[in-house]
Structure 1
């Protein structure tokens, strides 16, 4: 139990750090990077705003996962993880991953059809497979949580 408390506390510290870094990326780094790209490569300047919007959206999806994970940790701490409330937060994670995946597929297809060299599309394909595995893993974990919640409810009704 002590190890669980330490793990939850440490995970919360890292979630706060991650969220802070994501905000810096969202507000300063990504818009600044694409503005710099537009200045350095005027032929690519038309991609500045679409790339900014897409990457900021992906960061937003990660932020949804971070906040949902925080809420799930609160449920773990309060011994309420096997409840309907936890399913809502897991759903938020699944939908955030799904939204990021759909946009990533669009980027992958656009890059794939416009690439001169297979390196970047192959790297994006590898990332797409990884994101697909993560999303499907979350769907399976949600199903397991649903079963555990049902079993816990059944056990409580018996006792």
Structure 2
């Protein structure tokens, strides 16, 4: 049962990731072109915004890969290892990078144009979600590190 639930988790993550990548490749440029036509005074922001979103896709995909690697370790009963700690650390760092990128992008965008409340709220939601994921990953990383230390002490005393 455990292996099946982990497999379903991995399939779900891969499906959602594929949807996000496909939307970024096919839907996002068309939507940006549409809004550039609707608001020609802001058309010069089309390519910088697309580039910013695509740049943030890199740490997102890296975190997804690390999460899948971590779930594979759990599936083969190797969750309590140094590699698992490293996977959590990489997920934490990726989440913080995404948060920082959206914060910098929002600040730059607010200096260039007057941000609409919807775009500002979306950026804040993405920043906070990434920040929370980073904090949770950091807590889990520290807990796993301490559990490994206790496990190593117990192995040495026996």
TM class by shorter chain equals 0.7 to 0.9
Unaligned ranges ≥5, structure 2: none
Residue 133 of structure 1 deviates from its aligned partner by 2.5
Is residue 89 of structure 2 the alignment partner of residue 91 of structure 1? yes
The answer for the alignment partner of 1:145 in structure 2 is 144
Q: Cα deviation per residue 1:23-82 (whole Å; 9 max; x = unaligned)?
A: 212322222222222233221111111111111223332222211111001111121111
The structure whose RCO (Cα within 8 Å, separation 6+) is larger is 2
Is residue 23 of structure 2 the alignment partner of residue 59 of structure 1? no
CA pair 51-115 structure 1, distance change in 2 beyond 3 A: same
Structure-2 separation of matches of 1:63 and 1:57 = 11
Structure-2 separation of matches of 1:8 and 1:93 = 18
Whether the 8 Å contact between 2:80 and 2:148 is mirrored in structure 1 is yes
Deviates more, 1:142-151 or 1:129-138: 129-138
The answer for the alignment partner of 2:134 in structure 1 is 135
Q: Cα deviation per residue 1:105-152 (whole Å; 9 max; x = unaligned)?
A: 113323555437656545544543343232222211111111112222
Superposed, 1:9-48 pairs within 5 Å as: 9-48=7-46
- How many residues align? The count is 157
CA pair 123-37 structure 1, distance change in 2 beyond 3 A: closer
Whether the 8 Å contact between 2:92 and 2:133 is mirrored in structure 1 is no
CA pair 131-120 structure 1, distance change in 2 beyond 3 A: same
Structure-2 separation of matches of 1:116 and 1:33 = 18
Is residue 106 of structure 2 the alignment partner of residue 108 of structure 1? yes
Secondary structure of the structure 2 residue equivalent to 1:133:
helix
Structure-1 separation of matches of 2:76 and 2:14 = 20
Secondary structure of the structure 2 residue equivalent to 1:80:
coil
CA pair 152-74 structure 1, distance change in 2 beyond 3 A: same
Structure-2 separation of matches of 1:70 and 1:133 = 19
Secondary structure of the structure 1 residue equivalent to 2:78:
coil
Unaligned ranges ≥5, structure 1: none
